[in-house]
């Protein structure tokens, strides 16, 4: 049994109507050339041989009576692997467009909270004999860092690997706590909260004092639109329906590193710059490019050695300007570098880990109300960032699932009220695999956005290499 943190529970609390708190991925495997075709039956067998290494995958949510405290992950006594891993058919010829439509439908529905919050669809029948694995996990369980930890359990570097260490033991679920004991624990926790809050406030104050010279130095930059929320409203600052549209594409990591080497920027700077350029060109082509730069939210891991390997969420957010108002690719990259440097300095100057802990002091009823209201209420002059851009590092070597080689690995992230565009990418084996998610009622031409980002990458590559 493990209690959710305030941040973990926040991803449950945002779920209302067409907003879902899960994140997904679409992985493409070379099943044709594997010793045995990858199927749901084989994946169920693999999962059951290793699920003891991911115990939360056999735990379901149990709420505290009256929502007086955060819920718990408790062992599911009725856990059935067949309810979580299943085959999905696809009509011939099994094109990528068909796969995109299928994935968009699968992710456009909430997970069943009466059982562990994950599922995997295995899609055979794709062209070239490939197999797609569409995995969906609730964000209350994992962030980008912990999703990599799960992949390292299920996937292997050796296609012939079949042993699990330590080996699985018989599943003996712990008894679910009774409502009275949970209520008693909640009342005790609530009684102690003022003392814990006072200590946390002191810790935050102490660190702020220590970092005050840095904060004072950064004060002038705190008037930017990214901080004050005065950025222009865009087509992406809209309400989604319950439909989703997803567009995957790839960019060569070697080419991105070539740009980095030529310009002195970082890989993440290059990613941000080509996203800014692609969005600029798409917005301009659709006559909706604002004069001022867009703002973007950038998830940042705050994991340290003490939380490495732990599931749950250890992430904060950087808000930065995205220079969609700059036409020249190299100048835009320079602007991204400066904006990100300033945003990171501001982020690092604040005690983010301690500040995030304040979320643990609100009851689920309060956090649910605040989370939902924040998606609906726009204060005067305030708008959400137009887009989330998330860069998740991954292995730079081939990985295998049940002997089938992983060829491509695309993310399918989440959108919320007021922000219906998410660009997430996973690095894998020499490629950056992008997945863009939106609502087709707001951005029906999502392929146009993807094509614009790829085109801007090529333009930036040409300019950067010309420079030398």
Instruction: Give the distance, in angstroms, between the CA of residue 333 and the centroid of all CA atoms in the same chain.
Output: 24
* Inter-residue contact 372 to 16 (CB < 8 Å): yes
Length of the chain: 468
* DSSP symbol at 112: -
Q: Which residues contact 152 (CB under 8 A, 6 or more apart)?
A: none
Give the CA count within 13 Å in the CB-facing half-sphere of 325: 9
d(CA 68, CA 359): 14
What CA–CA distance (Å, rounded) separates 66 from 372? 19
Euclidean distance between CA atoms 418 and 146, whole angstroms: 27
- CA–CA separation, 301 and 303 (whole Å): 6
139 is catalytic: yes
Structure tokens at 377: 């209420």
Q: Which residues are within 8 A (CB) of 37 and not within 5 positions of it... i.e. 6 or more apart?
A: 31, 124, 131, 404
- With CA atoms as reference, report the closest residue to 416 among 247, 297, 302, 303: 297
Catalytic residue selected from 138, 139, 347, 457: 139
* 174 token code pair: 């712990």
Angle at CA 364, nearest 5°, toward 358 and 367?
55
Looking up tokens 């749901």 gives 40
Cα distance between residue 262 and residue 265, in whole Å:
8
Task: Identify the DSSP state of 62.
Answer: E
Instruction: Measure CA of the first residue to CA of the last residue in the chain; give whole Å.
Output: 58
Contact indicator for 81, 48 with CB cutoff of 8 Å: yes
Residues designated as active site: 139
């Amino acid at each position: 049994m493990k209690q959710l943190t305030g941040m973990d529970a926040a991803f449950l609390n945002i779920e209302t109507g067409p907003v879902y708190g899960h994140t997904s991925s679409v992985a493409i495997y070379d099943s044709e050339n594997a010793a045995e075709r990858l199927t749901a039956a084989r994946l169920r067998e693999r999962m059951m041989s290793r699920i003891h290494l991911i115990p939360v995958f056999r735990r379901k949510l149990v709420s505290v009576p009256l929502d007086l405290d955060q819920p718990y992950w408790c062992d599911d006594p009725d856990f059935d692997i067949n309810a979580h891993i299943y085959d999905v058919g696809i009509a011939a010829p099994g094109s990528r467009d068909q796969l995109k439509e299928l994935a968009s439908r699968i992710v456009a529905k909430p997970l069943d909270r009466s059982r562990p919050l994950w599922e995997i669809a295995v899609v055979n029948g794709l062209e070239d004999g490939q197999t797609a694995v569409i995995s969906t996990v609730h964000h209350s369980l994992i962030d980008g860092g912990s999703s990599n930890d799960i992949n390292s359990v299920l996937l292997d570097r050796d296609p012939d690997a079949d042993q699990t260490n330590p080996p699985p033991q018989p599943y003996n679920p712990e008894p679910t706590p009774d409502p009275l004991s949970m209520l008693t624990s909640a009342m005790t926790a609530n009684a102690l909260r003022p003392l814990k809050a006072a200590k946390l406030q002191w810790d935050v104050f102490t660190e702020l004092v220590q970092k005050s010279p840095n904060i004072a130095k950064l004060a002038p930059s705190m008037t930017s639109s990214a901080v004050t929320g005065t950025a222009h409203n865009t087509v992406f600052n809209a309400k989604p329906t319950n439909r989703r549209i997803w567009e995957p594409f790839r960019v060569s990591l070697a080419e991105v590193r070539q740009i980095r080497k030529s310009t002195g920027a970082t890989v993440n700077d290059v990613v941000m710059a080509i996203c800014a350029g692609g969005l600029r060109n798409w917005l301009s082509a659709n006559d909706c490019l604002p004069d001022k730069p867009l703002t973007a939210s950038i998830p940042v891991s705050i994991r340290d050695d003490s939380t490495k390997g732990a599931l749950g969420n250890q992430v904060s957010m950087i808000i930065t300007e995205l220079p969609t108002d700059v036409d020249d690719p190299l100048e835009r990259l320079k602007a991204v570098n400066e904006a990100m440097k300033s945003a990171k300095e501001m982020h690092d100057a604040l005690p983010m880990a301690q500040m995030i802990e304040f979320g643990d002091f609100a009851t689920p009823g309060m956090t649910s109300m605040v989370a939902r209201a924040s998606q609906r209420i726009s204060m005067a002059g305030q708008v959400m960032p137009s887009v989330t851009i998330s860069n998740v590092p991954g292995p730079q070597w081939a990985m295998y699932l049940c002997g089938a080689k992983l060829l491509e690995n695309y993310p399918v992230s989440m959108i919320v009220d007021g922000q219906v565009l998410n660009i997430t990418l996973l690095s894998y084996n020499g490629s950056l695999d992008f997945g863009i998610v939106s609502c087709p009622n707001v951005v029906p031409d999502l392929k146009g956005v993807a094509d614009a980002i790829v085109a801007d990458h090529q333009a930036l590559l040409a300019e950067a290499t010309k420079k030398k």
